[in-house]
Amino acid sequence: MKRAAFLDRDGTLIEEKGYLNTPEQIRLKKGVVEGLKLLQQYGFYLFIVTNQSGTKRGWVSKDRVERINRELIRLLRSYKVFIKDTSVCFHHPNERCRCRKPQPFLIFRLLLKYPEIDVKKSVVVGDKDSDIKLALNVGAKGILVFPHTDFLDVARSIIKDSHGFDIPGN
């Protein structure tokens, strides 16, 4: 069974920009590349799991969101960080869909596609309460990050918790 890191996009992997609407606005947060490499090294599949209601609000098109996601994945790949897949909710919060975080369907969709994942040994990392509630709703561990959190520290904490030993800092 594999472990997974289900990662929020905005405010977790990249700088929060409100409703991001161009790939040129992507700015990786501190420690993201190093932290994701560490998680990969210790056997975690990496997934992006994100709410993108800006599409229903008319602020950004679905095609543009998908282009931004592809560019983020390409950028991370250039650093040898490999995102296994993405799961996106495009619904407005008032639609009460099954996939908008903290509802579990974004992750359930990935679990159907990747049955080798042990969700109980996996983590959800995000910057909002809905990310932590999502973790609870699927039986994973939730990790809340803050605006100035160094993602490498988050990854070290995940490794310590999942593997039982510290990863030394630089």
Q: Indicate which residues carry an active-site annotation.
A: 8, 10
Count of C-beta atoms within a 10 Å radius of residue 86: 19
User: 113-134 in b/e burial notation, b at 16+ Cβ within 10 A?
Assistant: eeeebebebbbbbbbbebbbbb
CA–CA separation, 100 vs 169, rounded Å? 36
CA–CA separation, 83 vs 61, rounded Å? 22
Whether 158 contacts 39, CB under 8 Å: yes
Map residue 57 onto helix, strand or coil: coil
CA–CA separation, 95 vs 114, rounded Å? 27
